[in-house]
Amino acid sequence: MGAALMHTGYYFGFFLAAAANYFIGSRFGWRYMFMVGGAPALFVGFIRNNVEEPARWEKKITQLDKESGHKWGMHNAFLELFSPRYRRRTILNSLYLIVSLVGLWAGSVYVPAAITYIAQRVGRSAADAARMASYSTALLGMATVLGAVIVPLIADRIGRRITLGIFYAVMGLSIFVAFGRVFYLQAHALEWFLVSAFFLGLGGANFIVYSFWLPEQYSTECRASAFAFTTNIGRFAAAFFTLLVGAGVRHFETLGVPVAMTASAFVIGILLLPFGVETKGQPLPT
């Protein structure tokens, strides 16, 4: 639960970004927003400089590796992810993260752009459209925080894989409905898209599952490396999908259809989930 709640900081950031855009971006422009957005990086640097490594890890790196006779290093932790013990789950976990990131980048990230377009289409001013985009981003962030609170409770009751599957389904269906249907409504599109933004945010809580599921699958010496690798390798693939969405927008000359098509990634993710490792009630690997 603690890791899941800590993970909500990312989505509180969505809410704060929406507030900053409402009070700063919509009035003073993107340059001032850029300055505000860069400020937290300094705080992150301060935190990183004062974080100490776990004692168990410090002990591990002073020991000699049984096979090589050398001290355990960063490269050993990385290579361990692809050892016979972990190779299968590393590949699957990376694929799961790709699915989630496709939904985040090709779905949720386009919510402000879609809201802005719909608002201007129905006659709202540019300033009003920017404020509506802020509302949608804040709503999405609050829904994800709500999801983050309930995800650990569901996962402890029915398991990690089923919980992830449920939130995959919510996210995929929300993307399809929001961008494939609501985006093209002639009446009340703005109101219904805001409703869709809430469910997009709720489905986005699928990321919370990884905050406790991934560490439960790996031993101490490679747990952090596994989390870092699987949560970041997917960003390269997701970036490719974002380029595809851009190409789709150019081809279809509309935003809705290409983004709606990314919902198919969640179908693939649901089909892959039975092959993952269920860790509910299992002790951490040693």
Residue 60 has, within 13 A of its CA and on its CB side, a CA count of 16
| pLDDT at res. 90 | 95
- Cα–Cα distance for residue pair 76/139, rounded to 1 Å: 43
- Cα–Cα distance for residue pair 273/167, rounded to 1 Å: 12
| pLDDT at res. 107 | 66
- Cα–Cα distance for residue pair 49/60, rounded to 1 Å: 22
| pLDDT at res. 37 | 73
Per-residue pLDDT of the chain (286 residues; tens, 9 = 90+): 444 555 556 656 666 766 776 677 767 776 777 777 777 777 777 777 777 776 766 676 666 555 555 566 677 788 889 999 999 999 999 999 999 988 877 667 788 889 988 988 888 888 788 888 888 888 888 888 899 889 999 999 999 999 999 999 999 999 999 999 999 998 888 889 999 999 998 998 898 999 999 999 998 888 888 998 998 888 888 778 778 888 888 888 888 999 999 999 999 999 999 999 999 988 888 7
- Cα–Cα distance for residue pair 26/14, rounded to 1 Å: 16
Residue 74 has, within 13 A of its CA and on its CB side, a CA count of 2
Cβ contact 199:157 at 8 Å: no
- Cα–Cα distance for residue pair 178/14, rounded to 1 Å: 19
**Which tokens belong to 186?**
């002639």
| pLDDT at res. 26 | 64
Q: What is the CA radius of gyration of the chain?
A: 21
- Cα–Cα distance for residue pair 258/176, rounded to 1 Å: 10
Q: Which of 60, 56, 84, 87 is closest to 71 using CA atoms? A: 60
Q: Scanning the structure block, which residue is given the tokens 């560490």?
A: 215
| pLDDT at res. 47 | 78
Q: Which of 203, 272, 284, 286 is closest to 3 using CA atoms? A: 284
266: buried, middle or exposed (CB in 10 Å: 19+, 13-18, 0-12)? Answer: buried
